[in-house]
Amino acid sequence: MQENLNKNTTSLADRIDKYSKKWHALSNERILKILESNQITGLSSKEAQKRLDEFGTNCLPKPKKPNLVKIFFKSFLDPLSIMMAIAGLVSLIIGLINQLEAPDIAGLVIICVIILTNSFIATIQEYKALNQKEAIKNNSVQAIVLRDSKQIKISIEEIVPGDIIYTKSGDYVPADCRIIENQMLKVDESALTGENEAVDKVDEILDENQLVLGDQKNIAFMSTLVIEGKMKGVVFNTGRESEIGKIATKISETKKKKTPLEKKVAKLTLIIGIISIILGTIIFTIAYLNNSKINESVYQLLLVAVSSAISIIPESLTIIVKICLMIATKKMATKNVMIKKPKSIETLGNINVICSDKTGTLTQNKMFVDSLYFNNKVFNSKDLDLTEDPLVRCMALCNDAIINKKGEKIGNATDLALVSLLVEQKINYLTMRRKYKRVDEVPFDSKRKVMSTVNLIDSENGQYVAYTKGAMDYLLPNCKHIVDGKDVRPINDDDIANIKDQLLRFAKKGMRTLGFAKKDLEKIDLEQDYQYEDKLVFMGLVGIIDPPREEVKHSVQEAHDSGVRVIMITGDHKVTAFEIASRLGIADETYNDVITGAEIETLSREDLKNKLNQTNVFARVNPEHKALIVDLLQDQNNIVAMTGDGVNDSPSLVKADVGIAMGITGTEVSKKVSDVILTDDNFKSIISGINSGRNVYEKIKYSISFLIAANISQVLTILLVLGIFGQLALNSVNILFHIFVVETIVAIPIGMQSERNGVMLNPPPTHKKESLFKGILVQIILTTFFNTFFAVLNFAIAEIYMNNFNVSLSAEQLKNFATGYAKAGAYICIMFSPIFYAILFNNKFMPILNSNKKVVVDKYKPNKWLIILITFSIIITALTMLPFEGLNVFFDFKTYNLPAGLAAIFVINTLLVPLFIFITNWSFTKILARQKK
């Protein structure tokens, strides 16, 4: 193949097109030539910009925007709207047969208005929720590329064909690329090929011409996940031209699953739905039997029965839950908690154990070297004068971090602490890295907790040195020699005792310790496997300070106050871990022990469970131990949140009830499997998340108690009046108007109350299966009782008053007026009481929700939306009661010529409902508070 690669004759795009499907069969040099790139310098920023303009951003095709009209029509499909529509249709048919009258028309209009309003609100909520999901997805990811000879971090969207990229374990591959340097790369390609087994990659040419994607082992595909190792690659396809881009449009969005709370609410609605049918039937039967007295058409009786049935179902709960979850998701985002799965909001509210990483989450991850130990002496980093010696070489060469000219820090915090020290000491680590080329390496992994590199120190004599740095627990037993001044001699027991002693001194100050060792190698054959990490020469030790985050101590206290236990799980040394844990209040008199990874390996499950009751600190653990710890805690009925950042943290993140990944330092894998991402990596944000989660749960409970009480009161009033007076207290228009005002207007803002901090002074709402009614049953019963009682009382007073004290009317007129006024009495109470007592459904006035726990009342913050919508409801309901004969006909009661005395009694009784609810709740709270003492 002798193609003409002349820039003038073929464009880059044409060439990329021409070689598509052949990248695996070309040599690195050839690919670089085709793509006009260079693996030492990368692209120039100017060329990269040009290519970005030509090829577009490296984004996958976005899923279609949700269509408002489609969502609107879909919202009619919920069972309640269908029931209402059927009710409307039946009414219309029967009405037409019986020749419609004004009230019937009003009934139909109101049914239509309610269905439309419900669908309208549902549409807006659904649309908002979908758009929010998009915003989360667009959260940009960064990648390291080589541009103008420098490694820089850019947003993956800016990657172009020809870019040289670096990818390491835990990253997503940012674009389709040919691997030019491979370090034990293992990639999970399941997103692309469906193959679950991770694929070992290579960097050599593959001969076969036609290979399926799964067999193209020298190519890393966009959006696949690096599980192990690292690579350098040259990008040939980006965005929609990549393999995943080509199929992305075909991948359908996974259907949104209901959260447990939504499921609980759906179940509750269904149960109430069944009850409603039974009650509707009872109402119809009694009304039909009493029809000689009621004197209504069968059609009107049927409508009353159907609308009563509908009115019991708290259909707006579904919307309220959605709104609550949406508000909480938004609120949490402002507090650095990104919710990936809505169900985790509720679970966050329920957790009672947080297992947290140390580094970065509890500490600042701003590491600096404080002290060094070598040649049996301790030095403070400020009093040092380092020159290039084997120890310094180890720090510089066995290290992947860079601080670039702009001062940008690339790499992990531990490596960066060493690089910073070298920069302060005016040692040019980059020149050293160029001079002593790295020929092999064994990357850091969280099991060994060390990393090693092999560098060519003397090219003339072929002298290689392996440098190892990392945890002393692993390093020291492998050291057979020690550097002593300029000499190297066998290590003895005194040396080991001194080193261990020094290690403990550093650790007791809360410092992270890191040892350095080397191994001289004669000429080596890189094709063969060597053991670099044995028979080492010990060179020295550093103590690195990573200060605890200042705010965390307070957050740990807050967690404890709210009944949440905090456990630290770290890869760091046991003494360092315990010191930091003690400073933060995680370890205390009760939890005064540390369990190490090594102990976990030897202890039985039962012993470990017992030990778990005395310790909040796990040190030197491997990621696999984390999953076991979660398992044991869950066995003890705890609801556990676990933080994680590494690739190997995935099992524990999945196992935990809430898996929390770190937004800044976390690997893409950990972010993918987690439920929640902390955008600031800060422990404090977890506490904010718990707060929001608990608030959601509480607000839903208030909404449920309000809705059920208001709805049942209405139906009970109808039933009681039917039973006692053989009359219909409310007609279908009244009932439907009640649904419209109480359910659609007043109930929703109850779920929109502002968050309160007091929820954090109670223990968590215990169990996963806890009933939604726990703690609110008393309120429901009280509210229902008062509301029903006064509505029936109003009815009774009007009947008795008119029949016994008003003698100026004819018997026929009397009957007519009495029932009309009585109905007005029932209506005013059924409509206005809930509008008023809606104000009481919050923690300030109803703290008995937590009756078995500490009663905490927060400062009352007026709920703006509730006040606006209550005012609106008062106005529209008052309008329905205006004393005009024509209007009265629509609503089937009489306010026209209503005696002032009766009107006053109606109003007083209506206001007594919220007053009594308030007084009884207040008394309960006092009694409970006294009992606690």
To ligand ATP, the closest distance from the beta carbon of 57 in angstroms equals 33
List 232, 393, 469, 549, residue binding ligand ATP (CB under 6 A): 469
Using DSSP's 3-state secondary structure scheme, residue 676 falls into strand
Single-letter code of the amino acid located at 326:
M
To ligand ATP, the closest distance from the beta carbon of 514 in angstroms equals 5
To ligand ATP, the closest distance from the beta carbon of 165 in angstroms equals 21
Distance CA 695, CA 323 (A): 13
Between residues 419 and 830, which has the closer beta carbon with respect to ligand ATP? 419
Distance CA 664, CA 643 (A): 13
Between residues 271 and 423, which has the closer beta carbon with respect to ligand ATP? 423
Between residues 294 and 442, which has the closer beta carbon with respect to ligand ATP? 442
Residue of minimal Cβ distance to ligand ATP = 571
Catalytic residue among 171, 176, 357, 440: 357
To ligand ATP, the closest distance from the beta carbon of 567 in angstroms equals 12
Instruction: Give every CB contact of residue 107 below 8 A, 6+ residues apart in sequence.
Output: 91, 303, 307, 731, 732, 733, 736
Task: By CB under 6 A, tell whether 512 contacts ligand ATP.
Answer: yes
Between residues 199 and 417, which has the closer beta carbon with respect to ligand ATP? 417
Site stretch for ligand ATP (CB under 6 A), options 379-387, 464-472, 591-599, 737-745: 464-472
- At residue 404, φ and ψ (nearest 5 deg) are -80, 180
Between residues 514 and 564, which has the closer beta carbon with respect to ligand ATP? 514
Cα 532 to Cα 446, 456, 479, 556, 832: the distances in Å are 18, 14, 12, 42, 82
Element (H, E) at 627: helix 623-635
To ligand ATP, the closest distance from the beta carbon of 512 in angstroms equals 5
Task: By CB under 6 A, tell whether 446 contacts ligand ATP.
Answer: yes
Structure tokens at 198: 């991770």
To ligand ATP, the closest distance from the beta carbon of 415 in angstroms equals 5
To ligand ATP, the closest distance from the beta carbon of 421 in angstroms equals 14
Instruction: Give the pairing type, strands 199-200 and 176-188.
Output: antiparallel
Task: By CB under 6 A, tell whether 618 contacts ligand ATP.
Answer: no
Between residues 512 and 518, which has the closer beta carbon with respect to ligand ATP? 512
Cα 225 to Cα 23, 189, 231, 235, 282: the distances in Å are 20, 7, 12, 16, 62
Residues numbered 672-701 forming contacts with ligand ATP, rule: CB under 6 A: none
Site stretch for ligand ATP (CB under 6 A), options 79-87, 138-146, 569-577, 683-691: 569-577
Residues numbered 425-444 forming contacts with ligand ATP, rule: CB under 6 A: 444
List 414, 502, 667, 670, residue binding ligand ATP (CB under 6 A): 414
Task: By CB under 6 A, tell whether 450 contacts ligand ATP.
Answer: yes
List 470, 540, 548, 825, residue binding ligand ATP (CB under 6 A): 470
Distance CA 334, CA 679 (A): 10
Cα dihedral 690/691/692/697 (nearest 10): 90
Eight-class DSSP state of 363? B
Cα dihedral 718/719/723/726 (nearest 10): 30
List 10, 412, 425, 806, residue binding ligand ATP (CB under 6 A): 412
Between residues 349 and 623, which has the closer beta carbon with respect to ligand ATP? 623
Q: Are 914 and 839 in contact (CB under 8 A)?
A: yes
- Burial class of residue 588 (count of CB atoms within 10 Å of its CB; 0-12, 13-18, 19+): exposed
Task: By CB under 6 A, tell whether 451 contacts ligand ATP.
Answer: yes
Q: Are 709 and 788 in contact (CB under 8 A)?
A: no
The string of DSSP letters for 124-183 reads: HHHHHHHHHHHHHHT---EEEEEETTEEEEEEGGG--TT-EEEEETTPBP-SEEEEEEEE
List 174, 229, 390, 571, residue binding ligand ATP (CB under 6 A): 571
Distance CA 429, CA 435 (A): 10
Site stretch for ligand ATP (CB under 6 A), options 27-35, 555-563, 566-574, 894-902: 566-574
Between residues 312 and 416, which has the closer beta carbon with respect to ligand ATP? 416
Q: Are 916 and 843 in contact (CB under 8 A)?
A: no
Distance CA 498, CA 591 (A): 30
To ligand ATP, the closest distance from the beta carbon of 163 in angstroms equals 26
Distance CA 319, CA 699 (A): 13
Instruction: Give the pairing type, strands 402-403 and 409-410.
Output: antiparallel
Site stretch for ligand ATP (CB under 6 A), options 196-204, 322-330, 448-456, 748-756: 448-456
Between residues 615 and 732, which has the closer beta carbon with respect to ligand ATP? 615
CA-based nearest residue to 581, from 573, 638, 681: 573
Q: Where are the alpha helices (DSSP H) in 636-682?
A: 650-655, 668-673
Task: By CB under 6 A, tell whether 415 contacts ligand ATP.
Answer: yes
To ligand ATP, the closest distance from the beta carbon of 642 in angstroms equals 11
Residues numbered 352-381 forming contacts with ligand ATP, rule: CB under 6 A: 357-359
858 is catalytic: no
Task: By CB under 6 A, tell whether 667 contacts ligand ATP.
Answer: no
Site stretch for ligand ATP (CB under 6 A), options 11-19, 189-197, 446-454, 896-904: 446-454
Distance CA 733, CA 727 (A): 16
How does 761-800 read in b/e, with b if 16+ C-beta sit within 10 Å? Answer: bbebbeeeeeebeebbebbbebbbbbbbbbbbbbbbbbbe
Between residues 12 and 413, which has the closer beta carbon with respect to ligand ATP? 413
- How many chain residues touch ligand ATP (CB under 6 A)? 20
Distance CA 212, CA 232 (A): 22
Using DSSP's 3-state secondary structure scheme, residue 399 falls into coil
Between residues 444 and 817, which has the closer beta carbon with respect to ligand ATP? 444
Structure tokens at 917: 């609810």
To ligand ATP, the closest distance from the beta carbon of 602 in angstroms equals 20
- At residue 319, φ and ψ (nearest 5 deg) are -65, -40
List 396, 514, 566, 696, residue binding ligand ATP (CB under 6 A): 514
To ligand ATP, the closest distance from the beta carbon of 201 in angstroms equals 23
Residues numbered 909-928 forming contacts with ligand ATP, rule: CB under 6 A: none
List 34, 324, 471, 656, residue binding ligand ATP (CB under 6 A): 471
List 570, 596, 670, 732, residue binding ligand ATP (CB under 6 A): 570
CB count in 10 Å sphere of residue 463: 14
The string of DSSP letters for 13-45 reads: HHHHHHTTT-GGGS-HHHHHHHTT--TTT-B-H
Per DSSP, what are the bridge partners of residue 336?
none
To ligand ATP, the closest distance from the beta carbon of 233 in angstroms equals 23
List 340, 433, 518, 573, residue binding ligand ATP (CB under 6 A): 573
To ligand ATP, the closest distance from the beta carbon of 520 in angstroms equals 20
Angle at 848 between CA 845 and CA 854, to 5 degrees: 110
Binding site for ligand ATP (CB under 6 A): 357-359, 412, 414-415, 444, 446, 449-451, 469-471, 512, 514, 570-573
Active site residues: 357
